[in-house]
Structure 1
Amino acid sequence: MKADPLLDLKSKLFLALLVAAAIVVPMANLVAAPGSDFYLPSFAVALFGKYLTYALLALSVDLIWGYCGILSLGHGAFFALGGYAMGMHLMREIGPRGVYGDPVLPDFMVFLDWKELPWFWWGFDQFWFACLMVLLVPGGLAFVFGWLAFRSRVTGVYLSIITQAMTYALMLAFFRNDMGFGGNNGLTDFRDVLGFDLRSDATRAGLFVASAAALGLGYLLARRVTTSRAGKVLVSVRDAEARARFLGYRVEGYKLMVFTLSAMMAGVAGALYVPQVGIINPGEFSPANSIEIVIWVAVGGRGLLLGAVLGAILVNGAKTLLTGWVPEIWIFVLGLIFVLVTLFLPKGVLGAFGTLSWRSGGARRGASAQPAE
């Protein structure tokens, strides 16, 4: 069987659009004159950047659900852990400019009468260390959790339930003030990153470009995995795990690899999300958030990679519009979207377009194959 090319036509078009967005959006904000038809306000740049981080998060879920059959309802936890790792660095960056002027302790620790910085905050004054933790903390948790779960051969709905339980446990833990992560208020009031003011238009544009680059690299990585020999094994595990095990494949190892990689991608998405929205709190661990991520993937098209990206952008764009008009109805609209997609678009929006294209192409080939009268 010939392997799929790493960069097919759809991939090239997607990456070209991503590069174009990384150029056009910052220019529309920084170069275009305010009030002109081409001007993009700063809040829109941050909003679009947030959408890109959501797209990367959805991509991480599609990698394990669409290609390995692991329905994780806990990826919001990996996203939040990556966000907290970056938030801790941003809090350390404030230094003596905080409300209480303490050069070491964040404001919430001074308020709670903490006397010294906890050991798990050490090193977060260095950006490289924070970036390392963005990968290692979610990845380490996923590795330990996956090793225990896959070794015990927990699958299906049982695995989904325990991933959701893990997320809920972390949410309850991070809500506690004595955990040292800001309690229910979380981490906020960030000032700058790498010396650049987070409130400036140039920094927001830079974060948008960084989010676009991370999404592009994440897509290439996911595409590399899914088109490789290991990706074929993952699909066989998804479709017939017992048969793949019988053929001699170490199923647990493949599952653990892709689960850990997916968690690290989610952590990067969370790290880019935090400086653009300006806050991270325990609400990001909410199990409802993890369920919503799954809906993004289902809407766009499970097992297509680009479908996950499309679903995240479409659903969150609709959420932004509807919550601006009638906030109370969004949760019902989201449920309705999921039901309609399940009933009428089981392959998602992108999958439906692919099916239509295949059918029309087949019809044309059939017509051309008819003998001339």
Structure 2
Amino acid sequence: MARKRTKTDEAAAPETVVGKPLKLTQFSHGGGCGCKIAPGVLEQILARTAPGVVPKQLLVGIETNDDAAVYQLNAEQALVATTDFFMPIVDDPFDFGCIAATNALSDVYAMGGMPLLALAVVGMPVKQLPLEIIKRILEGGESICTKARIPIAGGHTIDSVEPIYGLVAIGLLHPDNLKRNSGARPGDKLILGKGLGVGFYSAALKKGMLSASSYAAMIASTTQLNTPGRALACLAGVHAMTDVTGFGLLGHLVEICKASGVSAVIDYAALPVLPNALDYAASGCITGASERNWASHGERVTLPRKHFGDVERALLTDPQTSGGLLVACAPEVVTEVLSIFLLEGFDHAAVIGEMSAGKPQVAVVRSESD
């Protein structure tokens, strides 16, 4: 059974090797979903990829950059398959395993599915990391899968230069409840399930600036399973869904707009933000992935520099590791959607904008209440 965290597990108390502090993040050039290939580069790679075999049972493939592949088994069941892994975003090995596993399972929930089982993806510098640390990373992942009530039924391990951990996640859903990123409609309201700012936190951690309370907020957010996706999938008024991860809020919203053939408006004042995250950004704790995200999607975004500075832009492009669900739904089900989030412990869930007819682009405005 996976070891449970206790109050003695502190962010400021890393493992030691030969009497010297060992930090997992020192082995990685980037952490969490900030490790992703820049969306603009990824688009060029996929554009040159041959489509291969596409059976009629494949309900979701790579065509709209959705969160997972979906393959219909019969009239009642469809298989959801995805994989996600990355380098450490935190130094505590148990926390790293928890975050990586939560992030991987999120893609199943984002499609409206129920996780069924997982396979571990493990790459570790075995000559540099003590086996006990590697074991604790795996224990963290196991603890999240236990919380999701699924087994880790196998996996694959390699000796690598950087620590890598994640999951292949398999789930099931009813084909009628499949939620893609391509179903948003003009007039839909946009709801975000978690607060933004994980990238700011991770940058502050690497600089030794992250407080204990902010670390606790970071772990609480990144290890919260996006379980509302299962209930939201059953609502006919929910038209599109994805999760906000490495491409930032703007990047994943642009993907919804492109896939759905609509535009969107975001009210910056309505965005939920993790505690003190903007303070860290103002102090220079911004990841390089934020700028890469803007370079990839900025041409589809209207963000008047007169009203929005560098920190505001960074929040919109901040890479979220294990971020929240982004839901496009009919106005009449907004209350029900928010209630589902609240009942499952997502206190940051908020209406952040709406979809409209027009070219696939995003306009950012600021309401008078800010």
Higher strand proportion (structure 1 or 2): 2
Q: Same fold (TM over 0.5)?
A: no
Rg larger in structure: 1
TM-score (norm: length of structure 2) = 0.24
TM-score (norm: length of structure 1) = 0.24
Structure with larger RCO (C-alpha < 8 A, sep 6+):
1
